[in-house]
Structure 1
Amino acid sequence: MARPVIVTGFEPFGGEKSNASWEAVRLLPDEVEGHPIHKIKLPVVFGASGDIVEAAIRELEPAVVLSVGEAGGRTCVTPERVAVNRMVARIPDNDGAQPQGDPVVEGGPDAYLSTLPLDDAVSAMSAAGVPSKVSDTAGLYVCNQVMYRVLHAVRSCGLKIPAGFAHVPYTPIQTVSKPERASLSSELSSAGLYSILITSLA
């Protein structure tokens, strides 16, 4: 059987009842190009979220790792270019932690670059009718921490695979009380994630 693909999304946080990342991830099919898709819902918690995805990488030795987060205010699916070794929380995580400058991995590199085929992925998403562009910052919250931990684990395991992170906008239902914010349907966001996986496996 082909090696699995790991795709992660997040639980709700910040008072929201849903998280656009998980809504998109859960709509993905069970496999892509013959590779089983292993979907993981992560807690919005510094440390624990990274531990979970790192353990999955070590256990499954996947062909691709794509972690996904929600970025309210963004207008399109944005694969991220870089993760930095720093955690700064504007609001507490779901366990109440609020780091202010701590490293993600003590002694780790200052940053990791995504190994996803970013430009090809954006082209594929555009061809599929999904608005997208590459982003140069994953922020400094739990999303960045997970992206950094993913890339650190992939390197530590000696895996030469596409791995990285993408943000998706709010879903329409999340913007009912904040109509000034952009949104994208879960179906379109999920189609964008599928395009990223297809290009990563090409």
Structure 2
Amino acid sequence: MATRNTVLLTGFEPFGGDPVNSSWETARALDGAELPGGVKVRALQLPCRFGSALGALHDAIQSQQPRLVLALGQASNRRALSLERVAINLIDARIPDNDAVQPIDVPVVPGGPAAYFATLPLKPMLQALLAAGYPAELSCTAGSYVCNQVFYGLQHRLRRTVVPSGFLHLPSLSGPEPALPLERLVSGTRLALEVALQPPAALAAGFSAGQIS
């Protein structure tokens, strides 16, 4: 039976030659954190491997029965917290994964819908991040690598449930001048989770529409 007292927060192992992955460092830092309402964060590291990432995610959802799921990923070319709006049913890997596998032009779920939208309250989350001084944006592409595979697989897995879910891309921590330090990635992700857990009525009352595209 679902207890609905946990949030599942996932991040990826390092890939592409980076020594760390900002998504896992952020998720790991929030593991065990208590959010409003006594909801606990449970972090899970996903493999950056097409053959096993979704299996690990599905197992965690089955065992934890979370109230909400937010998957994190690293986007080295971004300078802001990117709330992803849509996952596409496509894998088109620009580089091999950590198993040296590089699928080209194959579906995430054969026969599945072309796309799924996130079911998180993205615009209230964005508004809260911007108001708190975080560089943040809405994004209409999660790419076509393992991040998008996980995002699409997550939405497909939860499509007949009431569990909100989605994907947040974070800037990399590598290089001499990261866009954001780890502390800001952690606090920004926590704020996004806190907003996502609010009741719909509270979100509607506090959301100013019309200014965020």
Q: State whether TM-score is above 0.5.
A: yes
CA distance in 1, matches of 2:77, 2:69: 25
Indicate the residue corresponding to 2:209 in structure 1.
none
CA distance in 1, matches of 2:152, 2:35: 25
Deviation at 1:58, TM superposition (A): 2.1
Indicate the residue corresponding to 1:175 in structure 2.
175
Indicate the residue corresponding to 2:196 in structure 1.
200
CA distance in 1, matches of 2:80, 2:130: 10
Indicate the residue corresponding to 2:203 in structure 1.
none
Does 2:87 match 1:91?
Answer: no
Indicate the residue corresponding to 1:68 in structure 2.
72
| DSSP 3-state at the match of 1:78 | strand
1:161 aligned partner, one-letter code: V
Unaligned runs of 5+ in 1: none
Q: Could you tell me the percent identity over the aligned residues?
A: 43
Change (3 A) 1:111 1:64: same
Indicate the residue corresponding to 2:12 in structure 1.
10
Indicate the residue corresponding to 2:165 in structure 1.
163
2:181 aligned partner, one-letter code: S
Q: How does 1:8-157 map to 2 (within 5 A)?
A: 8-28=10-30, 30=32, 31-33=34-36, 34-155=38-159
CA distance in 1, matches of 2:91, 2:77: 21
1:32 aligned partner, one-letter code: L
Deviation at 1:2, TM superposition (A): 4.7
Indicate the residue corresponding to 2:205 in structure 1.
none
Tell me if structure 1 keeps the 8 A contact 2:4–2:66.
Answer: no
CA distance in 2, matches of 1:165, 1:14: 20
| DSSP 3-state at the match of 1:37 | strand
- State which drifts further: 21-30 or 134-143: 21-30
CA distance in 2, matches of 1:80, 1:5: 18
- State which drifts further: 96-105 or 183-192: 183-192
TM-score for the superposition, normalised by structure 1: 0.92
Unaligned runs of 5+ in 2: 199-213
Structure 1, residues 12-44: CA drift from partner, whole Å, max 9, x if none? 001111001111112225221211211001110
1:170 aligned partner, one-letter code: S
Structure 1, residues 132-158: CA drift from partner, whole Å, max 9, x if none? 011110000000000011111111xx3
Indicate the residue corresponding to 1:190 in structure 2.
186
Q: Let me know the Cα RMSD of the aligned residues.
A: 1.3
1:183 aligned partner, one-letter code: A
Count of aligned pairs between the two proteins:
194
| DSSP 3-state at the match of 1:199 | helix
Tell me if structure 2 keeps the 8 A contact 1:175–1:183.
Answer: no
Tell me if structure 2 keeps the 8 A contact 1:6–1:38.
Answer: yes
Tell me if structure 1 keeps the 8 A contact 2:31–2:43.
Answer: no
CA distance in 2, matches of 1:10, 1:18: 9
Higher RCO, 1 vs 2 (CA within 8 Å, ≥6 residues apart)? 1
| DSSP 3-state at the match of 1:101 | coil
Tell me if structure 2 keeps the 8 A contact 1:6–1:64.
Answer: yes
CA distance in 1, matches of 2:105, 2:77: 24
Indicate the residue corresponding to 2:202 in structure 1.
none
